[in-house]
Amino acid sequence: MVDLEYKGLLKRVIESTPKKEMSDDRFKLPKAEIFYEGNTTVIKNFDKITDVINREPDLLLKYLLGGLGTAGEMVGGRVVFQGKIPAKSIQDKIKEYVDNLVICSECSRPDTHLVKQGRTVLIRCDACGAIRSVKSRKKKTVQQPSETLNEGMTVELTIKDIGKKGDGIAYYDKYIVYVSGAMKGSMVKVKIEKISGTVAFGHIVEV
């Protein structure tokens, strides 16, 4: 009898307790404070960003280095990248990381953390309980169809350099094209006379 009364009381307490509303409004991703020192790019508030998104600094840094194609390191609470990286590129990459690896795909809340099961890394949402795997995103390489160059063809080329014998050098897909009488920097129509492997020879066609 006591147990029933206790359970009934507990149920009423739970029902009457206002549920904590979790809102994305409280999640404000800090804007990266970026400045340049010589030939380096610095994110001044990197530690604050990682605190807000609840991720280890090394994880975000690794993601940024890969996405921005540069080298860098943490110095205190800052990150220093080699080279002058456009601020927009950095902001976009941080947002991309948050969208893909912080925000829950089910409830769109930021209350997630990473858990590891064997070799698999999972994202678990503390708000709705959803779990999904973190898949490494490989850059998709779009393979362009190889252009075929044939003897007798006329193609438009830009002369990029001048060879030792004074011929202009241009490039057409995988081919190096030597053009007699061409000037560096000029764009010309070239008739292909001979092809040997990936090396072609041609002359300028008068327009």
**What CATH number corresponds to the domain at position 166?**
2.40.50.140
Whether residues 54 and 115 fall in one domain = no
Q: CA 155 to CA 8: how far, in whole Å?
A: 86
Count of structural domains, the chain:
3
How do 168-172 and 120-125 pair as beta strands?
unpaired
Tell me, yes or no, whether 166 lies in a domain: yes
Whether residues 176 and 112 fall in one domain = no
Whether residues 114 and 92 fall in one domain = no
Whether residues 96 and 111 fall in one domain = no
Low-confidence ranges of the chain (pLDDT < 50): 2, 13-14, 17-24, 136-145
Q: Which of 113, 118, 109, 41 is nearest to 80 (CA)?
A: 41
Whether residues 121 and 176 fall in one domain = no
Tell me, yes or no, whether 21 lies in a domain: no
Whether residues 198 and 160 fall in one domain = yes
Tell me, yes or no, whether 182 lies in a domain: yes
The domain containing residue 188 runs over which residues?
Answer: 154-204
Tell me, yes or no, whether 192 lies in a domain: yes
Q: What is the pLDDT of residues 156-202, one digit of tens each?
A: 988 888 887 888 888 888 888 999 888 888 889 999 999 988 889 99
Tell me, yes or no, whether 4 lies in a domain: no
Whether residues 91 and 49 fall in one domain = yes
**Domain containing 43 — which CATH number?**
3.30.30.170
Whether residues 73 and 115 fall in one domain = no
Share of the chain above pLDDT 90, in %: 37
Please report the DSSP string for the chain in residue order: -HHHHHHHHHHHHHHHSPPPPP-GGG--PPPP-EEEETTEEEETTHHHHHHHHT--HHHHHHHHHHHHT--EEEETTEEEEES---HHHHHHHHHHHHHHHTS-TTT--S-EEEEEETTEEEEEETTT--EEE----PPPP-PPPPPP--TT-EEEEE--EE-TTS-EEEEETTEEEEEETPPTT-EEEEEEEEEETTEEEEEEPP-
Tell me, yes or no, whether 147 lies in a domain: no
pLDDT at residue 166 in the model: 85
Tell me, yes or no, whether 121 lies in a domain: yes
Tell me, yes or no, whether 145 lies in a domain: no
Whether residues 33 and 87 fall in one domain = yes
pLDDT at residue 199 in the model: 87
Can you give the pTM of this predicted structure? Answer: 0.54
pLDDT at residue 21 in the model: 42
pLDDT at residue 147 in the model: 65
Whether residues 89 and 110 fall in one domain = no
Whether residues 54 and 95 fall in one domain = yes
Whether residues 118 and 73 fall in one domain = no
